Structure 1
Amino acid sequence: METQNLLTEIDGLLADMKAKDVQVLDVRGLSSVTDYMVIASATSTRHVKAVADHLTEQMKRRGTQPLGVEGQEASEWVLVDLGDVVVHVMQPQARAFYDLERLWARPEGAVQ
């Protein structure tokens, strides 16, 4: 699946499960692991797990096999690796603590 289509699919699936504050970070040139990171908040450990499970199941149905899923045990932060896109579903406290948006921000004036 083309990356822009994948991002659109992910956005829709996160919206289906009422994920909050969805952000897409373009990390091309900053990371050799992935091109985009999608960060979304969920309201509880159950919600985090439900969102990640829904995303994983629906991507498999669409023919995109996740390369890995991490963090399902604690469900404060679940990472779903879809290759060109890595999705982070986090509780607000974990999201604020790790502040991935700031960590992966492009330096001021950087060209993408």
Structure 2
Amino acid sequence: MSVEQPVNTPVLGDALLSVAQDALDDLKAVEPVVLDVRAFSSVMDYLIVASGTSSRHVKSLADNVLMKAKEQGVRPLGVEGERAGEWVLVDFGDVVVHVMQPAARSFYDLERLWSVQAEQPQES
């Protein structure tokens, strides 16, 4: 009995990355950054961090990412923070999108956190 191999997830991840980037660009996300975390994470391929100018803008950016992904037949594994609008996380598995207000982005500094992760060797 042969075992079927799953669909090539990096292609899905790359395609989904493009959809998410376009959705953020459509509504003028502030300073979007894409981090390729495939070498450091077994649970995701890409991390996108972007800012909105207000809670309404943050929510709109996240909603647009969700809508554009849905148009491609992709549903999120989870969405957190929509109610407050300070930091909305949209988890698609291969791609995780963080849309934050500038104060939250500065405080949590995810870009630096992941760059520190990249500099440290992983233990086996």
Q: Do these two structures clear the TM 0.5 threshold for a shared fold by scoring above it?
A: yes
Counterpart pick for 2:119 among 85, 107, 112: 107
Structure 2 residue 60 is matched with structure 1 residue 50: yes
CA RMSD of aligned residues (A): 1.7
User: Given that residues 58 and 99 in structure 2 are in contact (C-alpha distance below 8 angstroms), is that contact kept between their aligned partners in structure 1?
Assistant: yes
Q: Distance in 2 between matches of 1:29 and 1:108?
A: 12
Structure 2 residue 96 is matched with structure 1 residue 89: no
How many percent identity over aligned positions?
55
TM norm structure 2: 0.82
Q: Distance in 2 between matches of 1:109 and 1:20?
A: 31
Q: Distance in 2 between matches of 1:51 and 1:83?
A: 19
Q: Distance in 1 between matches of 2:48 and 2:33?
A: 6
Structure 1 segments (4+ residues) deviating >6 Å: none
Aligned length, in residue pairs: 110
Q: Distance in 1 between matches of 2:20 and 2:68?
A: 9
Shift of 1:10: 1.1
Specify the code of the residue in structure 2 equivalent to 1:44. Answer: S
Shift of 1:19: 0.5
Comparing both structures, which one devotes a greater share of its residues to helix?
2
TM norm structure 1: 0.90
Shift of 1:33: 2.3
2:78 aligned partner = 68
